Chains A and B, each alone.
Chain A
Amino acid sequence: MKSGNGKIMSGKNKNDLWAFFSSVKLALFTFFALALASIIGTIIPQGGEFLHFVESRHLSSGTIKVMQALSLPDMYHSWWFVGFLSLFAINLIVCTIDRFPNLLRLVRMDNIALGVDRIVKMPQRRQWFTAAGVEDAESFFAAKLAGFGWKVRHGAHDGHTLLFAQKGPWTRLGVIGVHTSILLIFVGAIIGSSLGFKASLMLPEGTTAAQVYSSGNDNATIPLKFQLRCDWFELDRYDNGTPKDYRSELTVLEDGHEVLKKAIEVNDPLVYRGITFYQSSYQPIKGSYAVEISDKARNLSHRFFIRPGKEIKWPEAGVGFGIVEQRPLYPNSIRHKIWFNDPAGDPVEFWVANGSRVPVVRGGNKYEIVIKQMYATGLQVAHDPGVWFVYAGCIIMLLGLYVAFFMSHRRVWVVLTPTDDGRLKVNFNGSTNKNRVGFDNHFNHMAEELGADESINLTRE
């Protein structure tokens, strides 16, 4: 007796817990809790801005300590916020497991064995009588329903002859799709944060890096299995001075060999070995300039990163050059006075506006010079093996929402029952789980056409 009682008790407890975690009440609670907590995070600046915030508000050290104890400076990663997210995920998992069998039963249900009593009580119904025989009536309705676009199944149950057809039974699973998609996004996020990294890199033009710096609190260095070189950085501005484009020409090297070249821009990153390099910012390197000289006759070209007041040699072309003077150029640029020499004659000096391409004619040869500010390109670096789970989740969510909201499971039955006076009673019934109005119209339209068809002469009495 005692043990039996205990069993019932533990079973009941388990059911209570299960019911709690699968309940919509819990879902509504977590929606509310997550929404409310998120508001806090948008009001209190997160991460690096937090210190600035507490200083500007002159908060007492006690308040700051409480905020730090609650992890408010990094709220979205705090134990309690992640706790709410976990609760949300558990709720989704349990609720899905809880409802799935029932939904699957509805999808796979044998609607012919449903029972005539239940079928004739479906929301949409018509009743007729006909003098036609069972086989004639059966083939008439089968042909008509097929004409309306239904795939008909035949059956018999308890002395009744039945026809059944349905559309979109699987659409009942749309809601499962939506819930699973959210879990898939969570999985992607967990994979991304545990196996991936976010980092950054400031890479001056002409230099090569083999490591990046984690964006996490530790700023740890993350070694790359290859090297990345910035060959050139270009900044384009609109007439009003705001940046139009910034572009970095990058080269990937493996053991000193060039394996990939790509010019990246914002919105157009470089991907190599699962690591993505995003153009995110730039920084001028004060007092340094990037020069590109092409020797047209010999089809040679070379880039130099230089400081003014020093002669630079390009032995390959026999050229020597340098910046000897600089002056501002209206409205927000500068120009450089270049000293230039090659074997063709005496050295020359000339002015070049920053960033513009100028020809230099020397004897029979022609050179082209462009000189501009030297920059370091700012790159965001990300490795996120979870992102495809997230994207898959996003697509499944949209499809699932569409199915769950805009598609329905529609069913129609025709039940043929012989009557005492030797005729046939015809019950035409239908049901839908959504969009009742639309289905009503469709059903009424079908019923009217069936009733008007004279081949088996359906009558109301």
Chain B
Amino acid sequence: MTSSMLLGITTIAYLVASGLYIALLVFRVKKLGTLATGLTAVTFLVQTAAIILRWMESYRMGYGHPPLSNMYESLVFFSWATVIFYFGLELKFKNRILGAFAIPFAFVSMALASMFHPDAIQPLVPALQSNWLFAHVMTCFVGYAAFAVASGLGVMYLVKLKFQGKEGLLASLPELRVIDDIIHKTIVFGFLWLSAGIITGAIWANSAWGTYWSWDPKETWSLITWFVYAAALHARFTRGWGGKRIAWLAIIGFVAVVFTYYGVNFLLSGLHSYGSG
């Protein structure tokens, strides 16, 4: 069994789990929810095993580094982080329907990784050989995962709002007030981790190149993302923004995240170029 095989299984299983969560949303059969959560939990364990295995494989190849060093590995980790964050939400809010708006992110991320990015384990270039690699990527991706789920919940909010009154299909969704609260808390959580991600990146850059901020496109886009969420939080805390507007900001914020994480590597050049492999 190699990590690549396990990750292949993970991709397909997250697809099935996404289908089950969406089926739960549509048909409201409780058993579907149990099945969806069960499958996601097992898949998550398989994925965890695959990540550990890949880490060990890199040692066997003589490179020895955590599997967070290129686009393929980071997409796998993003998927993993999204699932663990979603499980936290499911436990806290005791609602499985949230999965229909979260687990698809885990699947899409795995699918992108396997379709567009080479899965070969590569040695680390000298710039990446640092303990900050782990801290920086970890913090960023916990934040990204939270923002992904927040945007999914934003979509959920807008869908529920649109069909309010003629419920039926969407009756099982949590109340608007509850969704709004979860979106806000998720953004707060993500914002703390994004801040930590930017800071660890700055400290690392300073210890590698002697400059903590150089307006490189990746840095700049992470700052743009930070501004979007900072604006959302200020609008809520001081102007009482909620509901539709926060739902939209959660979606816009995640577009900025996707661009920071994915778009910048392909459309703009800069220091982070090693992340595009």
Interface size on B, residues (CB 8 A): 41
Task: Give chain B residues whose Cβ lies under 8 Å from the Cβ of A280.
Answer: 209
Tell me if A398 and B192 are in contact (CB < 8 A): yes
Q: Assess whether A380 is interfacial by the CB under 8 Å rule.
A: yes
Q: Is B207 an interface residue (CB 8 A)?
A: yes
Assess the B125–A242 pair: CB atoms within 8 A: yes
Asked whether B168 is an interface residue with its Cβ less than 8 Å from the other chain, the reply is no
Residues of chain B within 8 A of A382, CB atoms compared: 210-211
Contacts of A391 in B (CB 8 A): 203
- Asked whether B195 lies within 8 Å of A397 as measured between CB atoms, the reply is yes
- Minimum CB distance partner of B235 in chain A: A28
Q: How far is the CA of A394 from the CA of B224 in the complex (A)?
A: 18
A27 touches B234 (CB 8 A): yes
Residues of A within 8 A of B231 (CB): 28, 31-32
A384 to B209, CA, bound (A): 12
**Taking the nearest CB of chain B, how far is it from the CB of A74, in angstroms?**
10
Given known contacts A38-B224, A382-B211, A391-B203, A245 and B192 CB-to-CB distance under 8 angstroms: no
| Interface segment, one of B47-55, B145-153, B156-164, B213-221 | B213-221
Selected A-B contacts with CB under 8 Å, 17 pairs: A31-B231, A32-B231, A34-B227, A35-B223, A38-B224, A43-B268, A45-B269, A238-B63, A238-B123, A245-B129, A267-B127, A267-B130, A267-B132, A380-B209, A394-B199, A397-B199, A401-B191
A397-B195, A401-B192 known; A76 vs B215 contact (CB < 8 Å): yes
Using known A-B contacts A266-B126, A384-B210, determine if residue A24 contacts B234 with beta carbons closer than 8 Å: yes
How many angstroms from the CA of A244 to the CA of B211 in the assembled complex? 23
Residues of chain A contacted by B228 (CB below 8 angstroms): 31, 35
Q: Apart from A266-B127, A266-B129, A267-B127, what 9 extra A-B contacts exist at CB < 8 Å?
A: A32-B227, A35-B223, A35-B227, A38-B223, A39-B224, A198-B210, A238-B63, A238-B123, A380-B209
Do the beta carbons of B235 and A35 come within 8 Å of each other?
no
Chain B residues contacting A198 (CB-CB under 8 Å) are: 210-211
Q: Which residues does chain A contribute within 8 Å of B206, judged by CB atoms?
A: 387
Interface string of B239-260 (1 = CB under 8 A from A): 1000000000000000000000
| Complex CA distance for A41 and B199, rounded to whole angstroms | 21
Looking at A38, A245, A397, the one whose CB has the most chain B CB atoms below 10 A away is A38
Q: Which residue of B lies closest to A235 (CB)?
A: B126
* Residues A405 and B192 in contact in the complex (CB < 8 Å), given A267-B130, A280-B209: yes
A380 to B227, CA, bound (A): 31
B221 to A398, Cβ gap below 8 A? no
Pair B238/A246 contact, Cβ less than 8 Å:
no
Interface assignment of B84: CB less than 8 Å from any CB of chain A: no
With a cutoff of 8 Å between Cβ atoms, the chain A residues found around residue B207 in the complex are 267, 269
Once A28-B235, A394-B203 are accepted as A-B contacts, the answer to whether A42 and B210 lie under 8 Å apart by CB is: no
| B126 neighbours in A (Cβ, 8 Å) | 243-246, 265-267, 279
Nearest-neighbour CB distance to chain A for B256, whole angstroms, equals 8
